[in-house]
A and B are shown apart, each in its own frame.
Chain A
Amino acid sequence: IGLQVSSGLQDLTLRDRGGRRRDFHDLGVNTRQAMVHVQESKTGFSGKMIKLTTNHFRLTSRPQWALYQYHVCYSPEMEARRLRSALLFQHEETIGKTHAFDGSILFLPKKLESKVTELFSRTRSGEDVKITVTLTNELPPTSPTCLQFYNIIFRRLLKMLNLQQIGRNYYNPSDPVSIPNHRLMVWLGFTSSILQYEESIMLCADVSHKVLREETVLDAMHSLHSQVGEERFRDACAKELIGLIVLTKYNNRTYRIDDIDWDNNPKGTFRKSDGTEMSFVDYYKKQYNIEISDWMQPVLISQMKRGRGNIQGSVALIPELCSLTGLTDKMRSDFSMMKDLAIHTRLPPEQRQRELGRLLTYIQKDDNVQKELRNWGLSFEYKSVSFTGRVVQGEKIFQSGTMFDYNPQFADWTKETRGVPLIRAVPMDSWLLIYTRRNYDVANTLLHSLLKVTPSMGIRMNKPDMIEVDDRTETYLRVLQQRVTPDTNIVFCILSSSRKDKYDAIKKYLCTECPIPSQCVLARTLSKPQTIMTVATKIALQMNCKMGGELWSVEIPLKQVMIVGIDCYHDTVSGKQSIAGFVASLNQPVTRWFSRCVVQSPGQELVDGIKACLQTALRNWSKWNKCLPSRIFVYRDGVGDGQLNTLVNYEVPQFLDCLKSIGTDYSPRLTVIVVKKRVGARFFAEIGGGLRNPPPGTVVDTVVTRPEWYDFFIVSQTVKNGCVAPTHYNVVYDTSQLKPDHVQRLTYKLCHMYYNWSGIIRVPAPCQYAHKLAFLVGQSIHREPNLMLSDRLYYL
């Protein structure tokens, strides 16, 4: 009915692909102006100076540069965009050779003689058309429209360099890396964005890798069929394939698979734009000379989204003609695949900058590109920007009255704290250990190891109820129903395979119907004698946290503070549900966390649920502390590109509303910080003439931050290979009156508090907890867990 087969390559327009232009860079969201205390300065001061370079390049324009925006209209009205362009550009002598035109808005680097210019053209059919070109705007280099325009021009340059667009980025197809073991191909490419930064307009360019799969969707279906068999085939296809991005064989467009139409096949027909019906087989033969070999395959459906998610018809695609791109979660969890990929995609700092340098050399050397830039009066500095950052001092780790320093180079205190009692060790008086017959030995080894490692931690552990089961999901559930008592501290399951349904069933039961912490471990993990002690130690710590234990702390100088973390999980499989994880600290040393989550159905706003979460969190905090917190910090993760405006205008007011509803005399200081892990910025420390990853604790709050925001970057973790990614923090609301330095320090401290990793992590612990919770619920439980568990880290 509304089906439409993909057309050819869309040419360059001022609109983003998919029709409506989206503001991916959150331009025009000016949050800093409302925060008086950071008007003058938003920079911190503590720490040692460090010399940094980055992947930003200054864009320069000639003096008094401006971009002229014109509105173009036609009389009589012309519909087709191509015709409109053709008619307009019959007047190149007036308009000039350099222009950008999307059908109605025209950008020129020069001002036309008069404000309104009338031009006359004739169509092929001899019709006379009057074109009126009216100057509507003279844009200064820093205006948002102008910035968008720079980005369009830059993409045009990449196209001129013969790079290929896949999705949002451009890739170099001529030198692909093939990884035959996994049927993957990696293309090197670039991400680019041009933005107004603190002092100047800069290009932020980064190396990007596109993983292409040599398999077609049909290949993937075949291998799924052989894996799961006939009955589960369709479900498995839906699970594996829906949500994936495919690249069509015959043109260079990407589509998201939204549905699979099992009732259709290539012999089916669709309505072409001219209204005639044609079968897929005939269409592909006629149009692309492609013979579809499998006539029984189903047809993939991709929705065409325009504007605010309004569905505007769908496209039908043939599995055989679609290759898969990107990685699925299943592939990501394939250790050997990720290892093989990392060799090619994790570039160390020096190499990363070298690849970027190559791009800039292409730009510099290509005559056409240079000509285009010259015509617009623009140029780039080909040396990346350098500046000074700060490395704040490492935190002291406290554990049961002992204080530790960690080696800042590794950002890890596993060794230092080994064998030291935990802050709060929860005894394991009554617990279950469930295993299959095959894993009897493994279960015993584990038990011995746990008995060996727990005493030094201060964990009292009794012998568990050892329960042997056969490896059926129903058996596990039956055993749980029969053997779990209200006194059970924790349930330990040794699973023999990583089958998700079994894991999901156990977790679902123990998180909802029968709220008891649980620990599932694969037998494989426990089967190596040389690592069993390390594994047992980690498991003991994790179980202790799940039962409400506390491991270590750092010094938090603020009093009466509640820290909140929020992250979202979007279910790509069913495509409908989103889950927001919400955690909030319960005590002064921020070692205990309250948690809830919001399961959001389509069309429902997330904020309503979050408001309810905040209310319960405050109630619990006051129960624990006998008063309400006087400061609240919200670390909000999971905010997509272009969603900042919504967050600032809807979510923050809801937080304030919620606080107001607690009581008229209650007005705590609130700070809302948007946390972003996926940023294009990379920093390199200039050490000994070479480029290295900056050490953990590196704070950047100048040059590459945005003038309209109160924002900063922190590099908090270390990486073994590749480049470390800084995390971007954007304080969008702040009545704390704290100095930026203190907000930065607090943020960094919180990166030390994630109990599943005795080291510093990439985001503040509450964000990672919220992520873990949302992931567990989204992947396995699909509804809000029992609130009985809400004061423990059961989701670790």
Chain B
Amino acid sequence: MDKNFQEEFTQIIKFEPPLYRQRYQFVKDLVEKYKPKKVADLGCADCSLLWMLKFCRCIEVLAGLDICANIMKEKMHTLSPLPVDYFQPSERSLTVTLHHGSVAHKDPCMLGFDLVTCLELIEHLEESELKKFPEVVFGFMAPRIVVISTPNCEFNALLPGVKLYRHPDHKFEWSQAQFQSWALEIARCYDYSVEFTGVGQPPTGMEKIGFCTQIGVFVRKYPQTGESVQSEKPTEAVYKTVFKAVYPSLKDEKYLQNAVIREVIFTAQIIKHRLMSKREEYSDDPERKSKSQSSMDCFSDYLEKLVVEKNMEPFVSGNEVYIPLATIFSFPKVNRLCGTFEKLCKLIAGKVTLSSDGSAVMFNIEHENEEN
């Protein structure tokens, strides 16, 4: 290679988006493709990848493992549920756990994962740890898919300022051939298939030096391991849990009930409001002549239709307004939450004031107009 040409290149090699982002995006794309439910990130560092993955809706269990507890703690709070997760609990359940420990040790908490990622991890391992790594990840954890990324040392010549390794803590950096033979050996040994790819395109004309970051994607060839095999595995926990967040989910009866009660009362309130304002239309206030509702407001149209079609009219009796549960149940949001009418009745029992026969939500409007 022409030396001048190469030097010229070192000036301009810069990845956009940055390489680490490209690695994360690679994992995200993989998640989109395979829809894993349980994902673990080994060497999760400041949890950036985990934070990105928590937005992927297929994932129900996220785990991170790192040898350094401090770096995990630095930003682990970003993995906590947000206010919106509490007032709009999502359909899926999600648990995020961070463990402090080494990839050279087996811990049962790492069993049963669909996807395990090890981005820029192996090059930080001491020789003894690297030796144990395949058995822990592929033999013990045995997830469906494993992603391993590591620097491609053939690319280093193009990176400005890199002398020996890209990071002082790196114990080695492999060429494509070195990485691939290591990976193929593992695949053979633990019955996985492996495909090689990478991120960080080499410049045109230099394709043969390969990607800046080389990636191996391993897919398990045999089906899910049975219970019997797992029971032979050691069950002693060696990792220390440093963080755990259980996201509110509608799968949890408590959150489902709250969500249903909220939605029922809210829907009933709207219906009541419409009913009352209709009754007030006969006032002598010319400015309040009910203007025809705009297109944005499809709610009232819907209500009209409903009342006409199914005869589920809300009504006023004395100081009370009654809104039939059947009407409320027919609203899409309530319907979706509960599924069946019986479930609706069960969930709101004792929590929402109902008419004596339990068929309608009841509001007392006597004190409505009271003011301070």
| Neighbouring B residues of A436 by C-beta, 8 Å | 284-285
Interface presence of B258 (CB below 8 A): yes
B225: CB under 8 A from chain A? no
Complex Cα spacing A422 to B225, Å: 92
* C-alpha gap A473/B287 in the complex (Å): 9
Give the shortest distance, in Å, between B235 (CB) and chain A (any CB).
26
Verify if A212 is at the interface (C-beta below 8 Å from B). Answer: yes
Interface of B is mostly: loop
Q: Smallest CB–CB gap between A536 and chain B, Å?
A: 17
**Minimum CB distance partner of B243 in chain A:** A162
A125 to B14 CA separation, bound complex (whole angstroms):
13
A198 to B264, CA, bound (A): 53
**B369 at interface, CB cutoff 8 A:** yes
A212 contacts B269, CB within 8 Å? Answer: no
Report whether A162 and B161 are in contact in the complex, using a CB–CB cutoff of 8 Å.
no
A212 surroundings in chain B (CB, below 8 A):
83, 87
Smallest Cβ-Cβ distance to B32: which chain A residue = A289
Complex interface residues of chain B between 250 and 284 (CB less than 8 A to chain A): 258, 261-262, 264-266, 269, 283-284
Contact residues in B for A437 (Cβ distance below 8 Å)? 284
Please tell me if the beta carbons of A472 and B55 are within 8 angstroms of each other in the complex: no
In the bound assembly, the distance between CA atoms of A4 and B287 in angstroms comes to 43
A470 near B286 with CB under 8 A, answer yes
- Interface assignment of A139: CB less than 8 Å from any CB of chain B: no
Interface hits, A116-134 → B, CB 8 Å: 122, 124-127
Residue of A nearest to B293 (CB): A226
Q: Which residues of A contact B81 (CB under 8 A)?
A: 173
B293: chain A residues within 8 A (beta carbon): 226
Q: Which of B277-306 contact A (CB under 8 A)?
A: 283-288, 291, 293-294, 296-297, 299-300
Contacts of B162 in A (CB 8 A): 125-126
A229, closest chain B residue (CB)? B291
Q: At the interface, yes or no: A183 with Cβ under 8 Å from chain B? A: yes
B247–chain A nearest beta-carbon distance, Å: 11
A264 in the interface (beta carbon within 8 A): no
- CB-based contact B287/A471 at 8 Å: yes
Given contacts A225-B297, A522-B371, contact A496 B266 (CB under 8 A): no
The answer to whether B55 and A288 touch across the interface, beta carbons within 8 angstroms, is yes
A665 to B24, CA, bound (A): 78
Judged by a CB distance under 8 angstroms, whether B78 is at the interface is yes
Indicate whether B12 reaches chain A with its CB closer than 8 angstroms: no
Q: Which of A1-51 contact B (CB under 8 A)?
A: 8-9, 11
Task: Answer whether residue B17 sits at the interface, using C-beta atoms and an 8 A cutoff.
Answer: yes
Least CB distance, A653 to chain B, in whole angstroms: 42
A157-182 near B? 1/0 per residue, CB < 8 Å = 00100101010000001001010110
Cα A348 to Cα B321 with chains together (Å): 34
For the complex, what is the distance from the CA of A474 to the CA of B285, rounded to whole Å? Answer: 13
Instruction: Please tell me the size bucket of the interface on B.
Output: 35 or more
B83 pairs with A126, CB closer than 8 A: no
Number of residues on chain A facing chain B (CB within 8 A): 53
- A249 at the A/B interface (Cβ < 8 Å)? yes
Contacts of B296 in A (CB 8 A): 222, 225-226
Residue of B nearest to A228 (CB): B291
Q: How far apart sit A126 and B299, CA to CA, in the bound complex (Å)?
A: 63
List the count of A-B residue pairs having beta carbons below 8 Å apart: 120
* CB of B100 within 8 Å of the partner chain: no
Per the 8 Å Cβ criterion, residues 20-51 of B in contact with A are: 51
B58 smallest CB distance to A (angstroms): 10
* In the assembled complex, A738 has its CB within 8 A of some CB on chain B: no
Alpha-carbon gap, A499 to B285, bound state (A): 11
Contact between chains at B55 and A471 (CB < 8 Å): no
Contact across chains for B285 and A162 when beta carbons are under 8 A apart: no
**Contact of A247 with B by CB under 8 A:** yes
Per a CB cutoff under 8 Å, which of B168, B261, B288 touches A122? B168
Tell me, rounded to whole Å, the shortest Cβ–Cβ distance linking B99 to chain A: 16
Chain B residue at smallest Cβ distance from A289:
B55
Contact B294 A323, beta carbon cutoff 8 Å: no
B340 at the interface (CB under 8 A from A): no
Determine if B195 is an interface residue (Cβ-Cβ < 8 Å).
no
A125–B165 CA distance with the chains assembled, in angstroms: 9
Query: A524 to B294, Cβ gap below 8 A?
Result: no
B370 an interface residue at 8 Å Cβ cutoff? yes
A497:B262 contact, CB within 8 angstroms: no
* Among all A-B residue pairs, the 7 with the closest Cβ atoms: A226-B297, A180-B265, A180-B262, A289-B55, A125-B161, A249-B84, A225-B296
**Contact sample, A vs B, 11 pairs, CB 8 Å cutoff:** A9-B75, A126-B166, A164-B82, A164-B83, A176-B87, A183-B266, A225-B294, A230-B294, A250-B82, A335-B372, A438-B283
